[in-house]
Structure 1
Amino acid sequence: MILGVTLLVVLGTIIGAVLYGRAQSKARSVEDWALGGRRMGTLIFWFLNAGEIYTTFAVLGISGFAWAYGAPAYLAFCSVSLSAAIGYWLMPKIWAAGRARALVTQADFFADHYRARWLGVVVAIVGIAALVVYVQIQITALGLILRMTLGTDVSPAMAAVLAAAAMLAFVFLAGLRSAAFAAGVKDVLMLVLVIALSATVAGIVGASSMADVYARAQDAFPGIGKLPGLKADSGLSTTWLMTSALNVALANWIFPHMFQLSYSAATEDAIRRNAIFQPIYSLSYFFIILLGLAALLAGTIPPDGDINAVLLQFVSDRYPPWLVGLLAGTACLLALVPGSVLLLTAGSIFARNVVAPLYPAMSDRAGLLASRLSMVGAAAIAVYLTLGGNRSLVEIGLSAYGAIGLLAPGVFLAFLWPRTSAVAVAGGLVAGYALLVTPPGEAWIAATFVEWEPGLVAMGAALIVTVAISLVAPRRAGAPDTLPLTPPLASQGEAA
């Protein structure tokens, strides 16, 4: 029953998404395939944008974090709202620059604005590395679901390989429009499921209401409802929450796939409307955290102590098989859709910003082939990372935000300070990574900024170095002073 319902949900959605995508567009180039022809309207853009928020990180990761730590899971409430506020200002500017300059990738933006193709190559490599880490989240979660539905006889390694293969198959068959269709289906299913589970969970754990679940958790585990939560020595204090939420909000729109998402919108209004209403999605975290606390009250023990599997195990233990299958199928979509968009973005960046500079005469067909082949390599690296670690989805996500956040100074200063130079941006990257990934840098952050999110400290260092170098070595003459904030009239007419 579980396997049958799971396959029905997943295969039905994929078939519908592929048929929809092919009916809407014929991908003859990387731009058509990766940006959906720059014609994403308000509704489809909503689901695609929300699809990047409502992932396995949000559902399996946050519920597991609530089960293991309690109050630190409130990070989800803060980060989504802050991110939407920043996106309201930033995304339309990225969209305008992309439409006016025919940009396809994030690396295009850096190479074009700073008049330095070499910087585009550097940014491409940094972006692909961060995307691979984010793909790891989706493969980890999808592997868990596959083991639950197919049985524990399937090894973690085989589950990870199957998960990567499923993502590659979906993205090869489709493009951004198909992913947007699938995102809409999985968002609706997941919201209905989360609310339905939350409406019945009180009776499952012997509470009188949803609010009583929170009260009982506080009584059974004193301190769970306030920071630092269940584990006083975890370092998940108020300082951690504030710095982590700010780091996620600042870094969210810097991910390469969020740049391409911005480029894909048909109009500026589509972006702004989404930014206004997107924080509503953060309300669903009340129910997701509730389910994590209910699993704790129910004494749920996930396999191998894996906190990422808490929600799946809780539902499997307490609910009928058909509902378990519905959750498993929907959770598969939560991993497949964002994972496919991440791989699609990594492939388009590799083809356009790494291969194309070496082979300028490369045709669109060859570029599309290079893009698709490179995704196999990115998926393989993500599988390797999945097998080499056992961290929570939230911890993996924060490390990805920390890595990509080092590009934030280069993006924000592009719109705020024309003096910023390519050399300065590169210098900021070097300084940021020296703090973030080297043992001396990590030790310095831990000793100097106690309980701070390391990614935010590294981002601050990158900003200081970028500004300092720009004062000494400003942007070279001949580069435009500012990026255009609105596209040419012809492009506006096409968008309308």
Structure 2
Amino acid sequence: MKDDVDTIALVVVLVLFAAVTVLGFKAARWSRGSSLASLDEWGLGGRRFGTWVTWFLLGGDLYTAYTFIAVPAVLFASGAQGFFAVPYTIIVYPLVFLFLPRLWSVSHRRGYVTPADFVRGRFGSRALALAIALTGILATMPYIALQLVGIQAVFEVMGLGGSSNILVADAPLFLAFAILAAYTYSSGLRAPALIAFVKDALIYLVIAVAIIYIPTKLGGWTGIFDAAEKKLTALDGAAGNPADFSFAGVGQAWPYATLALGSAMALFMYPHAITAVLSSKNRSVPRRNAAILPAYSFLLALLALLGFMAIAVGVNPVGLNGKPNAQLSIPLLFETMFPSWFAGVAFAAVAIGALVPAAIMSIAAANLWSRNVYKAFLRPGASHADEAKQSKVVSLLVKFGALLFVLGLDKSYAINLQLLGGIWILQTFPAIVFGLYTRWFHRWALFAGWAVGMIYGTWTAYNIPNPASGAQHFGGSTAAIPLLGEKGYVAFTAWVLNVVVTVVLTLVFRAFKVAEGHDETSPDDYHADAGEPGVRDVATPGAAGKAGAAAEA
């Protein structure tokens, strides 16, 4: 890879970065109440977002550097196994169509800001709520780290970050971190909601041009797939694998299926996904979005094919430090195939596409801290303003924690950062999703199941090496499934153990009549809608009329 700076591309990126930064700070005045000094306003955007704003917000929230960098990088390096991300985003929307409206209703009826709020109210357990909150914070950090890796890859391809001095090499990353931290602190959820419009427009523009323009330069799709088959078959032979191994051949069914299903179950357990849903104005908005968000699944499938295009072009993803880095493959593809000015647009699309979800993630994690740790345990009498102030500060600390993941873990397969978070966050599924439908499960059984899943998942992931990069720990996401012998996604195996422990201990605790805790919710809470008696009206005086109408669109 060249080590000189692509000045034209860099200028385009900086101009677009500056534009969205200004937009991020201006968002503080967009459809706001008289003050941002509450989690409802700072952390949930006033709970007034309508279908289209929520669609862009969720799209910006869920389709991240994972989509633009990590998934195509897996196809570039490992073959068709990377396509697991396509069926998982198809599976997830019928699933969330069922339970997200119930979560919206009970949260608005009871004033819940986080999923841990719901768990505390449903099961009467502060310990279980604390476990859910801390898991959400922990799982969010590697996901934010993945966004920062995407930004880092773009800057590296433009020729920045090649110094052996870590402070100089990662200076662009620190700069992006500072920008993200500043506008998130100032504007809360409104900043990424507004910037998501720009992000999605850029992404759709770049992918439309790439899918139409690049194949015409590479001999069409036949040439692209032939080149991918030739390279990956050679890699299979060198590794002693069957000839079709990289194209989801022998031994790939269980990893593929469990990655897809486990990822689908985990996606809307992430606090940032739930935050985006709770920011909507009525219970119909999550349902509509579950129906129209599959448009992004089509986009993801097209983006994944960029990995095969990079193979056909023959890019050599070696970083400025001389080490192989598959995450550079797509930025290198853009640099090779596009003129510098449009490569700059593509780089900006990737970078902004990483900043938007990173902002939402840090806000969601900060809300968990403020509501379920700070107020629940450290300062029970905290006011709404105190909670908002805590969230602003903690949103900065969460980003710092994500930086530690970036600097401390192997980045050659950045998708493992997201899959590591999935191992943890999926262990919250029984308490949240099962709890939306039944209270049969005992609170201490849910806690024990969560603990078993967390310990098994973390220990197993820790012991997975990555021979390609030399990493000894956290080098992958699949391992042998106990009793079956087949390999599968660690998160899904840990979840099965979680559920088994939860069911068995529920029977035991019920047999011994162990106290179950108080359920503060009622059956009607799960069907309530905006405007009905008891549903929180969080609109505050001082909202700008036109801006408010725009947010409610």
Query: Same fold judged by TM-score > 0.5?
Result: yes
Distance 1:284 1:87, change over 3 A: same
Q: Are 1:479 and 2:519 an aligned pair?
A: yes
Q: Which residue of 2 aligns with 1:164?
A: 177
TM-score of the superposed pair, with normalisation by structure 1? 0.92
Q: Which residue of 2 aligns with 1:470?
A: 506
Contact 2:109/2:535, CA 8 A, preserved across alignment: no
Q: Are 1:192 and 2:233 an aligned pair?
A: no
Q: Which residue of 2 aligns with 1:454?
A: 490
C-alpha distance in structure 1 between counterparts of 2:136 and 2:30, whole Å: 31
Q: 1:32: Cα distance to partner? A: 0.8
Long gaps (5+) in structure 1: none
C-alpha distance in structure 1 between counterparts of 2:117 and 2:161, whole Å: 44
C-alpha distance in structure 1 between counterparts of 2:244 and 2:275, whole Å: 36
1:328 to 322, 347, 368: 347
Contact 1:418/1:481, CA 8 A, preserved across alignment: no
Q: Which residue of 2 aligns with 1:389?
A: 409
C-alpha distance in structure 1 between counterparts of 2:307 and 2:430, whole Å: 36
Q: Which residue of 1 aligns with 2:18?
A: 11
| 2:44 partner SS | helix
Q: Which residue of 2 aligns with 1:229?
A: 246
Q: 1:212: Cα distance to partner? A: 4.3
Q: 1:479: Cα distance to partner? A: 2.6
After superposition, what is the alpha-carbon deviation per residue over 1:191-244, rounded to whole angstroms, capped at 9, x for unaligned?
110110121112333x1x2354224433564499996416989x7x12111001
Q: Point out the structure with the larger helix share.
A: 1
Q: Which residue of 1 aligns with 2:457?
A: 436
| 2:293 partner SS | helix
C-alpha distance in structure 1 between counterparts of 2:534 and 2:352, whole Å: 34
C-alpha distance in structure 2 between counterparts of 1:169 and 1:152, whole Å: 22
Distance 1:153 1:69, change over 3 A: closer
C-alpha distance in structure 1 between counterparts of 2:150 and 2:215, whole Å: 26
Between the two proteins, what is the percent identity of the paired residues? 22
After superposition, what is the alpha-carbon deviation per residue over 1:286-324, rounded to whole angstroms, capped at 9, x for unaligned?
322322111112110112321111100121123211011
Q: Which residue of 2 aligns with 1:315?
A: 334
Q: Are 1:412 and 2:445 an aligned pair?
A: no
More displaced stretch, 409-418 vs 76-85: 409-418
C-alpha distance in structure 1 between counterparts of 2:440 and 2:178, whole Å: 45
Task: For 1:423, give the aligned amino acid.
Answer: W
1:218 to 204, 209, 229: 229
TM-score of the superposed pair, with normalisation by structure 2? 0.83
Instruction: Give runs of aligned pairs for residues 49-60 of structure 1, distance below 5 A.
Output: 49-60=58-69
C-alpha distance in structure 2 between counterparts of 1:423 and 1:459, whole Å: 17
Contact 1:434/1:441, CA 8 A, preserved across alignment: no
Q: Which residue of 2 aligns with 1:178?
A: 191
Q: Are 1:263 and 2:263 an aligned pair?
A: no
Q: 1:22: Cα distance to partner? A: 1.3
Q: Which residue of 2 aligns with 1:130?
A: 139
Contact 2:369/2:391, CA 8 A, preserved across alignment: yes
C-alpha distance in structure 2 between counterparts of 1:458 and 1:368, whole Å: 34
Long gaps (5+) in structure 2: 1-7, 237-241, 465-477, 539-551
C-alpha distance in structure 2 between counterparts of 1:478 and 1:121, whole Å: 16
Distance 1:221 1:132, change over 3 A: closer
After superposition, what is the alpha-carbon deviation per residue over 1:344-368, rounded to whole angstroms, capped at 9, x for unaligned?
1111111111111221122222222
Instruction: Give runs of aligned pairs for residues 31-46 of structure 1, distance below 5 A.
Output: 31-46=40-55
Instruction: Give runs of aligned pairs for residues 29-428 of structure 1, distance below 5 A.
Output: 29-149=38-158, 151-153=160-162, 155-205=168-218, 207=219, 209-218=220-229, 221-222=232-233, 228-229=245-246, 237-302=252-317, 303=319, 304-357=323-376, 358-391=378-411, 392-428=413-449
After superposition, what is the alpha-carbon deviation per residue over 1:80-109, rounded to whole angstroms, capped at 9, x for unaligned?
011111111111111011101100112111
C-alpha distance in structure 2 between counterparts of 1:222 and 1:96, whole Å: 51
Distance 1:307 1:216, change over 3 A: closer
C-alpha distance in structure 1 between counterparts of 2:480 and 2:272, whole Å: 30
May I ask how many residue pairs the two structures share in their alignment? 492
Q: 1:115: Cα distance to partner? A: 0.9
C-alpha distance in structure 1 between counterparts of 2:273 and 2:153, whole Å: 26
C-alpha distance in structure 2 between counterparts of 1:150 and 1:219, whole Å: 30
Q: 1:494: Cα distance to partner? A: 5.2
C-alpha distance in structure 2 between counterparts of 1:381 and 1:463, whole Å: 30
Distance 1:346 1:267, change over 3 A: same
Q: 1:125: Cα distance to partner? A: 1.1
Q: Which residue of 2 aligns with 1:2?
A: 9
Q: 1:34: Cα distance to partner? A: 0.7
Contact 2:144/2:361, CA 8 A, preserved across alignment: yes
More displaced stretch, 49-58 vs 413-422: 413-422
C-alpha distance in structure 2 between counterparts of 1:31 and 1:149, whole Å: 40
C-alpha distance in structure 2 between counterparts of 1:43 and 1:111, whole Å: 31
Contact 2:70/2:327, CA 8 A, preserved across alignment: yes
C-alpha distance in structure 2 between counterparts of 1:29 and 1:60, whole Å: 35
C-alpha distance in structure 2 between counterparts of 1:226 and 1:249, whole Å: 29
C-alpha distance in structure 1 between counterparts of 2:316 and 2:494, whole Å: 36
